[in-house]
Amino acid sequence: MKRRLITLINVLYDNGVGLIALAAAEPHALYIDGTGAEIFARTASRLMETRFEVYLAERHKRSFNIGEPG
């Protein structure tokens, strides 16, 4: 299940897709120990980055370019 969440977050992030999610803690505190914790740290970082205005602005810009060449 953890691997699927990591894959989902990576695909959404790479494609500039927004995600609204609710969790029991901040991303960096969700999975700190055990197998795959280091991999999840990157995912947590991506989740945090999607909160910043720069990411949101880039996502907004991409949505207006859908269907346009180049």
pLDDT mean over 29-50? 89
Query: What is the pLDDT, as a whole number, of residue 52?
Result: 77
Q: What pLDDT band is residue 31 in, cutting at 50, 70 and 90? A: confident
pLDDT band at 60 (very low <50, low <70, confident <90, very high): low
| Encoded amino acid at 62, one letter | R
pLDDT at 67: 56
The percent of residues in the chain predicted with pLDDT above 70, rounded, is 80
pTM value? 0.68
Q: What is the per-residue burial (b if ≥16 Cβ within 10 Å, else e) of 29-66?
A: ebbeeeeeeeebeebbebbeebeeeebeeeeeeeeeee
